[in-house]
Chains A and B, each alone.
Chain A
């Protein structure tokens, strides 16, 4: 279905983008300060504020209603703090209590207003589910003003917010007003929640805060970049969500925005460099494979060493007996190694090439040097070092190995009396 690109649509896009941007930025701080669910509690807690503001002012214009929501939200956050401080109820319980009872009071007020003679609360309902489609230009202007204020506050107090987020004790020790800054951040959170009530509603607002922040976290370890990315992801989800919902007609906007950001989050978790699940899985697989290859080289080498004859091939049954491996798995590894010219197949047996022997010696050298290091420097009994060395031989870097070698005074034998291969010894032997 074609999208009707009229002014109204652009207003809504602008509003949703603005909300996404400030939600993403403030959500980053909430996420890093381990207050992910505070936004959810405060959104629910805002409802009675909206109702009371309506009863007091009798107007349905957004400004007093949002002011009421703001007051109730701040009150809710203080109550959560008070419950945690003075009772044995933990933070999660305190948030649940404030969330549900405030909301209950809100529902009572809402229905009470509705049932009063002449009462009409239809406008209040939008605060529950949000109605992006009903956003007016003036709403968006107000959102933009609040948004600029929020962003300006973050820019001005960036260093302070960063410090109380990552090292609260240090911030306090250098004399920052930590408590005031925390209340400031929470107030910004409430502001964003209040702005979002109109657009996505009580239940889904948490997603505009946390989902972009978690997604952004996957791509970077730096706060500034995380804020920028979260703003882009949040704003982008807002814009795409509005357009998708306009194109499909009848699909509500708020949930579409949330689905967009959730999809972006899924993609970030899977594909982000360094932290991404796919890359981690791929890296794991490569490491496992390298370990298996190095173990096979080492096994073949051990036969050559025992027989003092590296030219004689080692048969499958001999190798299979070492680690209880199947013929099939062993064959696959042998083919991998042959492709890299590290082993030769000789009939039904395997022989190391010169390059293969050098590779095997490197692994054996790491193993034996590590054993020696443990016995000499860490005072581990020599019959306890083998298992540890089995793991370290695959992860020690060449540089670290040479430093251990120097540290131990270039030893020639390991704790069990076996020779430690030298880097170039293999070349001469092969000649």
Chain B
């Protein structure tokens, strides 16, 4: 198979599985638990490595996933003593475990190809060159198999437990009342996160897997309001990020994993600015529209209270507004036919008076005038 195709496929599988479980982390406000797990699995990997004496994938995945669940358990345990808040518990547990992992790796695995840097960045560029061979049959790139199997596991569990995940994420109290155990679901989800994180190591490493876990779902969260579309969109964005990231890395001759993480950031910023429902642009335009309609109403009220027409400059001085601001308000009112006369002598029309009555804003205007 073409190496580029393999890299893109592996990247897409990793991105899809991370996005699928990461969406729940974002919704449950546990994004940094993913970060903690991704670091704390290091001792699990080293121990599995020492135990089985090889870099074969599945013992490592299982060892690391067990450490991931242990991490979550330790954090819960610390939190439940009520002496440490949950965010501080995360900040205490994962560096401790990571430190153990680094020391173990240095002490016992120094001669073997398992340096912490490899765990931190991963190297997806090597993915096409290690094949999975079972009983002498070459089945193609191993990383592709691993990431595809993990994606399949994630898909099956999320689909099978969709209702449970949804309910415990949004309303744990109701879930408990209905007889689901939020704790059990929590641990199922965390096991899934651990397996996914570990399976993605070889491709993107410990820190960049956090980007894959959190950023595509957060991007989707800015775009849609329902869970099922959010999951689908997270996966789609994740895959798109992976491909875009490969392009960036290829173009600058840089780390592919780094490129993918950069791409997630770029896409997030685009969605942040331009999301049709929640984007910065939309917020800005909405605020401006609101302010302008409010300005127009104030001018209208002011004109209504006077028997004589008023000039534009007079109004601007009265409110302490800039000329642009008063011009916008007057232009809006003219378009609506609420005022007539030229800038030197503005007068409210009958249309304007009716509009004011309909809006019923008299008390509001009192408060707003200086």
Binding site for B on A (CB under 8 A): 31, 34, 36-37, 39-40, 44, 83, 86-90, 92-93, 95-97, 99-112, 115, 128-129, 203-204, 206-207, 209-211, 213-214, 217-218, 250-252, 254-256, 258-259, 262, 265, 269, 275, 277
Contact = CB atoms under 8 A, between A and B. Distances in A.
Nearest to B98: A203
B110 to A, nearest CB: 7
Contact of B100 (A104, A111, A259): A259
Contacts of B78: 269
Interface residues of B, number: 62
Contacts of B262: 101, 104-105, 108
Interface string B257-270: 11111101100100
Given A40-B35, A93-B218, A250-B106, A100 B100 contact: no
A99 B35 contact: yes
Given A36-B91, A96-B214, A97-B214, A104 B272 contact: no
Contacts of B121: 107
Given A36-B88, A104-B265, A218 B258 contact: no
Contacts of A128: 117, 120
Interface in B94-122: 94-96, 98-100, 102-103, 106-107, 110, 116-117, 120-121
B215 A269 contact: no
Nearest to A91: B29
Contacts, number: 201
A37 B32 contact: yes
A202 to B, nearest CB: 8
Interface in B1-45: 26, 29-32, 34-35, 39
Given A36-B87, A93-B218, A265-B92, 14 more contacts: A90-B29, A92-B30, A93-B214, A100-B35, A101-B262, A101-B265, A103-B261, A107-B261, A129-B117, A203-B98, A203-B207, A213-B88, A252-B106, A255-B102
25 contacts: A36-B91, A37-B90, A39-B91, A89-B221, A92-B87, A95-B32, A96-B213, A97-B214, A100-B207, A101-B211, A103-B207, A104-B208, A106-B258, A107-B255, A109-B254, A203-B120, A204-B99, A207-B96, A211-B96, A214-B92, A217-B83, A250-B106, A251-B107, A262-B95, A269-B78
B153 interface: no
A103 B208 contact: yes
B280 interface: yes
A211 B92 CA distance: 5
A289 to B, nearest CB: 22
A251 B100 CA distance: 11
SS class of chain A's interface: helix, strand, loop or mixed?
Answer: helix
A44 B207 contact: yes
A210 B36 CA distance: 14
A207 B254 contact: no
B265 A251 contact: no
A217 B92 CA distance: 13
Interface of B: 26, 29-32, 34-35, 39, 78, 81, 83-85, 87-88, 90-92, 94-96, 98-100, 102-103, 106-107, 110, 116-117, 120-121, 207-208, 210-211, 213-215, 218, 221-222, 248-249, 252-255, 257-262, 264-265, 268, 272, 278, 280, 283
Which residue among A100, A105, A275 has the maximum number of chain B CB atoms within 10 Å of its CB? A100
B83 A105 contact: no
Contacts of B92: 207, 210-211, 214, 262, 265
Given A129-B116, A255-B103, A277-B81, A107 B257 contact: yes
A93 to B, nearest CB: 4
B87 A34 contact: yes
Contact of B102 (A108, A115, A252, A275): A252
A96 B35 contact: yes
Nearest to A265: B92
Contact of A255 (B99, B259, B265): B99
Contacts of A129: 102, 116-117
Contact of B222 (A31, A89, A106, A115): A89
A187 B239 CA distance: 36
B261 A104 contact: yes
